[in-house]
Amino acid sequence: MAKERESNQKPASANARRRPGPEPPQFEMRISTKFAPQKPNNGKPLTCTADTSLRPEQLLELYRYLKLTRLVEERLVNLYRQTKIVGGVFRSLGQEATAVGTAYALQPTDFVTPLIRDLGAVLVKGIRPREIFAQYMAKAWGPSGGRDLNIHFGDMSKGFIGPISHLGDMIPVMTGVLLGARMQQKPIVAIAYIGDGGMSTGAFHEGLNFAAVQKLPLIVVAEYNHYAYSTPTSLQTAVRDLAEKAASYNIPASIVDGNDVVACYEVTKRAADYGRQGGGAVLIEAKTYRRRGHAEHDDQRYVPDGEIEWWEKHNDPIDRYEAYLTERGLADKAKMDELTADVLREIEEDCAWAESSPMPEADQAAYGVFDNNIVPPAFRPEVLKH
């Protein structure tokens, strides 16, 4: 087990401004490595941490979400190759456990704002595969009515705020959500996902600094997947661990094995409890690996030979979890095949629904951009029609 590394943070001043209410929980200002990644030992395959509070039925539900995420993405790739997808396909192959495990630790009233590779979190929050398929195919019945693509949409009723392409910008947005919730006395916490490359943007620092100062219950899940598009992480940030950046904001941080879905759940549950009790923001660094390129058009020629194959063979999150369920006697192959078959039936039905749905009418693009109760639809000026 990796040794916990003390940070050089000093205790807060006794004269610091205090907010009314109960004292927040105490949390040592250090990087917790309790759930840090482990390496294969004596040829024995990796599984998942046994240190969990999850019940057996919850552990099986986690498996279903992992399989749902991977199989939805596999179907999206097939649709892409059939030219039925508009735009690109961005896969989370090899890092599904991070999004699924962290989102599963939240309550239904909590919020997430994912990145394009966090489909698992979106599915955990209750978005159906049919919505994902219709969105990727720009169908009229999709969540955005064909106005945008992939997971660039949201559903406030499910606690899902859609991402935008400007990496890091959703962190200050989520701080605004949490500040508004505090003013309304709503005890919610929220996760904002960010990649190793996105952590080098200005918006990331501005947002996390504000959350730290205001002691907002924001959990920033930083996915160390080794590449910022094609740039190795070591060439775009000087720190060894992304969690080290938490010291700049005097907030606690944890390093977790991002391919261990149980560990991802446990570390996030701990952070959510801390935030809900008034402790403030937390940074979680998930060590994982992106086995596909930035998108399906990326051939990954920048990746060293054998690297992807090693991760596929030794550290696949679903393989690890299947071994874990088997070792603990929670599911045998027949049970896992049954769960997988149920997932495939759902995907078949939802994909057929999405494919049969119509394309949007052109004039619908003028609606829903602004609040049409206040601003009329912006149709094309007559002078431009000739």
Alpha helices in 184-329 (DSSP H): 202-214, 261-276, 307-314, 317-327
**Tens digit of pLDDT at every position of the chain (386 positions):** 444 444 444 444 434 444 445 565 655 557 999 899 987 776 678 999 999 999 999 999 999 999 999 999 999 999 999 999 999 999 999 999 999 999 999 999 999 999 999 999 999 999 999 999 999 999 999 999 998 989 999 999 999 999 988 889 999 999 999 999 999 999 999 999 999 999 999 999 999 999 999 999 999 999 999 999 999 999 989 999 999 999 999 999 999 999 999 999 999 999 999 999 999 999 999 999 999 999 999 999 999 999 999 999 999 999 999 999 999 999 999 999 999 999 999 999 999 999 999 999 988 888 888 889 999 888 877 776 76
- ∠ CA(45), CA(321), CA(305), 5° rounding? 55
Reported as type and span, the H/E element at residue 62 is helix 56-81
CB 10 within 8 A of CB 2: no
Instruction: Give me the sheet containing 282-287, strands edge to edge.
Output: 5-6, 30-35, 253-257, 282-287, 218-224, 190-195, 111-113
Residue 1 burial (C-beta neighbours within 10 Å; 0-12, 13-18, 19+) = exposed
Handedness of CA 258, 263, 269, 275 (dihedral sign): negative
Beta bridge partners of 351: none
Q: What is the pLDDT of residue 26?
A: 58
CB 106 within 8 A of CB 186: no
The CA distance from 109 to 13, in Å, is 34
For residue 173, what are its two tokens? 């947005």
Residue 30 burial (C-beta neighbours within 10 Å; 0-12, 13-18, 19+) = middle
Q: What is the pLDDT of residue 370?
A: 85
Q: What is the pLDDT of residue 12?
A: 43
- Closest to 60 in 3D by CA, of 347, 326, 288, 344: 326
Handedness of CA 359, 365, 367, 371 (dihedral sign): positive
Q: What is the pLDDT of residue 27?
A: 54
Beta bridge partners of 231: 228
The CA distance from 367 to 302, in Å, is 43
The CA distance from 260 to 280, in Å, is 25
Q: Which residues of 153-164 are buried (b: 16+ CB within 10 A; e: fewer)?
A: bbeeebbbbbbe
- Closest to 51 in 3D by CA, of 314, 264, 224: 264
Q: What is the pLDDT of residue 6?
A: 42
- Closest to 339 in 3D by CA, of 106, 39, 155, 63: 63
Residues 6+ away with beta carbon under 8 Å from 375: none
CA distance to 107, 221, 247, 251, 347, per residue, from 283 (Å): 19, 6, 10, 7, 34
CB 317 within 8 A of CB 255: no
Residues 6+ away with beta carbon under 8 Å from 315: 46, 94, 259, 289
For residue 34, what are its two tokens? 């309790």
